[in-house]
Amino acid sequence: MHLNFHHVRVSAMNRKNDENNIDASVKTNQIDNDGIVHLENGIKLELSQCKLIPPESNDYVNVVMMFSLENMYDPMTKCPKCESTIPWDRPILLMDNMQFVYPCLDCEWVWERQSFNMRKFRSENR
């Protein structure tokens, strides 16, 4: 499933009330290759600390891990949506619902289910 904008939420770690949350709709071109979200009002957020709402859902899911192609054992090299080449250092997210999220620079947010093929875990399981 693919989305042009994505709603993200960042919560203050030591607060439980909603007034300390930052809610924003984010385009993929607002994310740099270091995983920093640059909001229009100048606020910067770490993408790995954001919660995202998956397509066809109303519930937020957490980022489990942020990585790039250089950390993958058998990396996907093309965007599943537009077939553009994925930059080696572009962030990819593993979410707690076991989906991968890729903020493609050429099209939109891409949510995909894929096998977990990170180098670190493959070498640990040998």
Q: What is the model's pLDDT at position 34? A: 93
What is the model's pTM? 0.74
SS3 content of the chain, % helix, strand, coil (to 5): 15, 35, 50
Distance of CA 113 to the CA centre of its chain: 13
pLDDT: which is higher, 113 or 46? 46
Q: What does the pLDDT look like over 113-123, one tens digit per residue?
A: 765 454 444 44
How many CB atoms are closer than 10 A to CB 126? 4
What are the structural domain ranges in the chain?
Answer: 2-124
Percent of the chain with pLDDT over 90: 13
Q: Interior CA angle at 8 toward 23 and 2, to 5°?
A: 140
- 86, 64 contact by CB (below 8 A): no
Q: What does the pLDDT look like over 55-93, one tens digit per residue?
A: 888 888 899 999 888 777 777 788 888 889 888 889 989
